[in-house]
Amino acid sequence: MAEGHNTRYSHLAESLASVRETQEIQHQNQETLQQAVEGLTAQLQLVVANVETLVRNQGKQKEDAPYGLTSHMGNPLFEEHGSIQTRAIHLDFPKFDGEEPNGWIYRANHFFTYHQTNPHHRVLLASFHMEETLTRVRQTTTVEAYKTQFEVLSNQLKGLAEPYKLSCFLSGLREDIRFMVCMLNPSNLTMAFGMAKMQEENVTAFKAGTRMGSTPTRPLSNPPTLDTKALVPVQRLSPLQMTERRARGLCYNCDEKWGPGHKCKSARLFILECADSEEEEPATHSTPTTFRSSRLSFRWRGVYGYPPPPLLAHSLGTTAVQSVEDTLKSQDQILRLSRGNLHVAQERMKRFADLKRTEWNFDIGDWVYLRLQPYKQHSVVQRKNLKLSPRFYGPYQIVERIGHVAYRLDLPSTSLLHPVFHVSCLKRKLGAWNVLVTTIPPVVVGGGPQAEPEEILQQCLRKKKGRAVSELLVKWKGLGFKEASWVDFQKLQQDFPDLEGKVF
């Protein structure tokens, strides 16, 4: 036992000795840190004193400085000789006149350094002070000659940015070439040279084709002499006379029967005149105009601004002139092709439209859900949670089919809705368990269900636009307490004046 106690005492003594050593080491570290903090505090006080002295000296120098002296703090030009300049200097940016470009660039760089101009603004500032050759050069002959002249001048300016050279080149092009090249938006001078060359070739080819297509008119050497013979009277047929002759089978120009190969005995000169007049003559038709044709005519006139061209009806073999027969045949062929293409396009559009359509057919006795609005409920009660309001009511049973797209439903006896609905408002009920049970609104006003107040549950005052507004918690007739909503008191007075004093 004595040996065990001695062993414990020895362990405790060793532990106490180690704790004392640790405390001594921590005490030494703490003293070292305290000395370091004291040294930093002394240095910080010295720095603060120096800063205060510097601020006082600068304020004193500003007060003692005479009027007109300016400081250039931070400008590298004045770092070696002090930050104070004896007099303000007004410097103008050097203007470039096309001579000595290297000297102009040297002076411009010194101007930028003196005023510490932003590098992104230097090209724009330099462009305002170029007055002579480079900015005034213009295309007078060909693009190749203009390119050579521009390169000779631009190569003398080694410090000029590429975007500015491109802008100068585009501004000097001819108008008919510059518009197309600027629309293509070239990114460098090489692309601009190529686009300008291609546009010049297109303009030249277009002008050559225009000159070849136009036939010059030769001036008459001698003016035509007027014939002294008696003038033949001009005979004009009115539309009514033409209709009568056509009904009797007579020729338009003589009193003989008309047929294939008919020729008038007396020689005649036929003239077809076309005159543009603002006032249109009333059109006469041999056949009555249908509503569809007149509607298509109005649509054509609304789009193009003039009436559609007439299509002449004819029968094959009724004309003696072969060219007219060929023209009418080609017209019929074009009309048939156009009509066929329109039918094909219509069928294609219908096929793609039917991909998102479904055909609903219901039988008498089927149960369906009723949707009163396709999007949201429009009523006096403007709920904030429209997405949570019921979309369908029912289910209700179909009792009669009216036409192809309407059905009569067996609605409750308390409902004031018309029981006939379009097929798009119905949804088939699947299964035997009724999932949705909702009371249908009793009244429909303006296409949306509108309920009638039955009881006022609560009343409160709310602040809207800086004024107090009275609101009522209304329980609607035919709806439960969970569907009660807050409504403005003035709104209720406007919508239900007959219930004032009875319900609210």
Count of C-beta atoms within a 10 Å radius of residue 433: 6
Q: What is the mean pLDDT of the chain?
A: 75
CATH architecture of 451-504: Beta Barrel (2.40)
Mean pLDDT across the stretch 80-108?
68
Question: CA 413 to CA 440: how far, in whole Å?
Answer: 11
Q: Where are the alpha helices (DSSP H) in 65-161?
A: 101-115, 122-127, 133-136, 143-154
C-alpha of 444 from chain center: 39
pLDDT digits (tens, 9 = 90+) for 142-154: 888 888 888 887 7
- Structure confidence at residue 134 (pLDDT): 63
> CATH assignment of 361-442, given 3.30.70, 1.25.40, 2.40.160, 2.30.30?
2.30.30
- Structure confidence at residue 345 (pLDDT): 93
- Structure confidence at residue 220 (pLDDT): 47
pLDDT of residue 314 exceeding 70, the answer is no
Higher per-residue confidence, 41 vs 223: 41
At 459, give phi and psi (nearest 5°).
-145, 140
Question: CA 428 to CA 425: how far, in whole Å?
Answer: 10
The two three-digit tokens of residue 469, written as one number: 């507004």
In eight-state DSSP terms, residue 425 is: G
Q: How many residues does the chain have?
A: 504
Higher per-residue confidence, 378 vs 438: 438
- What one-letter code names the amino acid at 91? L
pLDDT of residue 288 exceeding 70, the answer is no
Mean pLDDT across the stretch 109-116?
82
pLDDT digits (tens, 9 = 90+) for 326-378: 888 888 888 888 889 999 999 999 989 888 888 888 999 999 988 876 555 44
- Structure confidence at residue 398 (pLDDT): 93
pLDDT category of residue 79 using cuts at 50, 70 and 90? low
pLDDT of residue 389 exceeding 70, the answer is no
pLDDT of residue 483 exceeding 70, the answer is yes
pLDDT of residue 437 exceeding 70, the answer is no
Question: CA 96 to CA 125: how far, in whole Å?
Answer: 12
pLDDT of residue 399 exceeding 90, the answer is yes
Question: CA 139 to CA 351: how far, in whole Å?
Answer: 58
Give one DSSP letter per residue of 29-49, joined into a string: HHHHHHHHHHHHHHHHHHHHH
Beta strand pairing status for 420-422 and 406-409?
antiparallel
pLDDT category of residue 159 using cuts at 50, 70 and 90? low
Give one DSSP letter per residue of 264-316, joined into a string: -SS-----------SSPPPP--SSPPPHHHHHHHHHHHHHHSSPPPP-----T
Report the b/e string of 69-102 with b at 16+ CB within 10 A.
eeeeeeeeeeeeeeeebeeeeeeeebebebeebe
Per mean pLDDT, which range of 102-106, 273-277, 461-465 is the poorest?
A: 273-277
- Structure confidence at residue 357 (pLDDT): 80
Mean pLDDT across the stretch 70-77?
51
Question: CA 487 to CA 499: how far, in whole Å?
Answer: 15
Higher per-residue confidence, 88 vs 402: 402
Greatest mean pLDDT among 152-156, 246-250, 391-395 lies in 246-250
- Structure confidence at residue 67 (pLDDT): 44
At 393, give phi and psi (nearest 5°).
-120, 150
Reduce the DSSP state of residue 235 to 3 states and report it.
Answer: coil
Q: Quick check: bond before 395 cis, omega within 30? A: yes
Per mean pLDDT, which range of 192-196, 261-265, 422-426 is the poorest?
A: 261-265
Count of C-beta atoms within a 10 Å radius of residue 238: 9
Residue with tokens 């003239």: 271
Reduce the DSSP state of residue 262 to 3 states and report it.
Answer: coil
pLDDT of residue 124 exceeding 50, the answer is yes
- Structure confidence at residue 400 (pLDDT): 93
pLDDT category of residue 296 using cuts at 50, 70 and 90? low
Per domain, the residue ranges of the chain are 1-64, 101-205, 328-357, 361-442, 451-504
pLDDT of residue 279 exceeding 70, the answer is no
- Structure confidence at residue 407 (pLDDT): 94
Residues facing 459 on adjacent strands:
472
pLDDT category of residue 80 using cuts at 50, 70 and 90? low
Question: CA 177 to CA 167: how far, in whole Å?
Answer: 14
**What percent of the chain has a predicted confidence (pLDDT) above 70?**
69
- Structure confidence at residue 278 (pLDDT): 45
How many C-alpha atoms does 306 have within 13 Å on its Cβ side? 5
Mean pLDDT across the stretch 265-293?
53
Burial of 197 (0-12, 13-18, 19+ CB in 10 A): middle
**What percent of the chain has a predicted confidence (pLDDT) above 90?**
6
pLDDT digits (tens, 9 = 90+) for 183-206: 888 888 888 888 888 888 888 887
- What's the alpha-carbon Rg for the chain, to the nearest Å? 50
How many C-alpha atoms does 80 have within 13 Å on its Cβ side? 2
- What one-letter code names the amino acid at 479? L
Contact by Cβ (8 Å): 381, 451: yes
Give one DSSP letter per residue of 445-483, joined into a string: ETTEEE--EEEEEEEEEEEETTEEEEEEEEEETTS-GGG
- Structure confidence at residue 349 (pLDDT): 92
Greatest mean pLDDT among 96-110, 287-301, 350-364 lies in 350-364
Higher per-residue confidence, 456 vs 76: 456
